[in-house]
Amino acid sequence: MIDFVRFITPEYVTSFFLLFIRFSAIFTFMPFYGHQTIPISVKAALAFYLTLLFFPQMQNIQGEVELLWLVGAILGELILGLFAGLILQIVIAMLMFAGEQMAFIMGFTLANTVDPQTNLQVPILSGFFNFLALMILLALDAHHLILEFISHSLTEVPPGSLSFSNEIFNYIIKAMAHFFVVGFSISFPIIALSLLADIIFGMLMKTMPQFNLLVIGFPIKIAVSFAVLVAILTAIMHNFKMEFLEAFNALQLLF
C-alpha cells in the first residue's frame, strides 16, 4: 500500500490521465479500433488497460502542473489521434470512393446499405470494399502496428509536449489530392469497359431498333462489370495495401 500511495502525486496522475486521453483519441479516430460497432465501454476498458500497460514506459511530467497547460496538453493529445486517424482513414476512403464510382456506372446507386462505420447510406460496392479493407488490415496486423506507433510516440513525443510542423499539413493536402487520383485509377477499368459497352449498345439500337436495352443491355453490362471486378480485385487489394503502408510510414511526420 505504501508503494502504491507513493505514485499518487499530481505529476503521476497527470501523466496517467494524458496517456489515457491519447489511447482514447487513437481508439476514436483510428481504423479498426474506431469502428462504430465496437461498444464505447469496450473501447474505454481497452484504453484503460493499455494505459496501465504502457504507463511505465513513458516519461513522467516534471514540475508543477498548471490548468492552462493541462487544457493545451489534452487538446494536443486529441489532435494527435485526429491527425493520425485522418491520415489512415483517407486510404480507406480511397477504396470506398472507387466503389462508389463503380456502383454508379453499374447502376447500383439505388441499392444502398448502411455503413456501420459512419452510419451513412453507401453503395453496395463501397460497403463491400470497406469490409475487404478491414480484412486486409487484420491480415497486415495493422492493429498491432497502431499499438507500436503509440509505443514509439511515447518516446518521441511524451504526453503534453506535442508540436506540429508544416510537413503534416502539406502531406494531408497532397493526400486529399491523391485521394481522387487513386480512386479514379482503381475504378477506371470498369468505367472504361462500361462506356465501351454503352457505345456498342447505342450502335446496336441504331441498327436493330427492336433491341431492348433495359431487358438485355443492363444485365450484360452488369455481368461484364462483375467479371472485370473479379479479375482486378487482387490488384485493387494490393494497391490498397501499398497505399496504407505508405500512409502509416507518414505518421512519423507527427513527431
Which residues of the chain fall short of a pLDDT of 70?
A: 1-10, 59-65, 109-111, 113-120, 160, 211, 213-214
Which pLDDT value is given to residue 90?
86
Which pLDDT value is given to residue 2?
46
Which pLDDT value is given to residue 63?
59
Which pLDDT value is given to residue 119?
66
- Give one DSSP letter per residue of 79-144, joined into a string: HHHHHHHHHHHHHHHHHHHHHHHHHHHHT-TTSEEE-TTT-SEEEHHHHHHHHHHHHHHHHTTHHH
50 within 8 A of 19, measured Cβ to Cβ: no
Which pLDDT value is given to residue 176?
84
Which pLDDT value is given to residue 116?
65
From residue 238, alpha-carbon distances to 85, 126, 245 in Å are: 21, 17, 11
Q: Which residues lie closer than 8 Å to 113 by C-beta, 6 or more apart?
A: 121, 122, 123, 124, 127
The DSSP output letter for 169 is H
Which pLDDT value is given to residue 148?
83
Which pLDDT value is given to residue 6?
55
Task: Report the distance separating Cα 46 and Cα 40, nearest Å.
Answer: 10
pTM of the shown model: 0.79
From residue 147, alpha-carbon distances to 19, 36, 48, 247 in Å are: 13, 19, 14, 16
Q: Which residues lie closer than 8 Å to 194 by C-beta, 6 or more apart?
A: 105, 106, 221, 224, 225
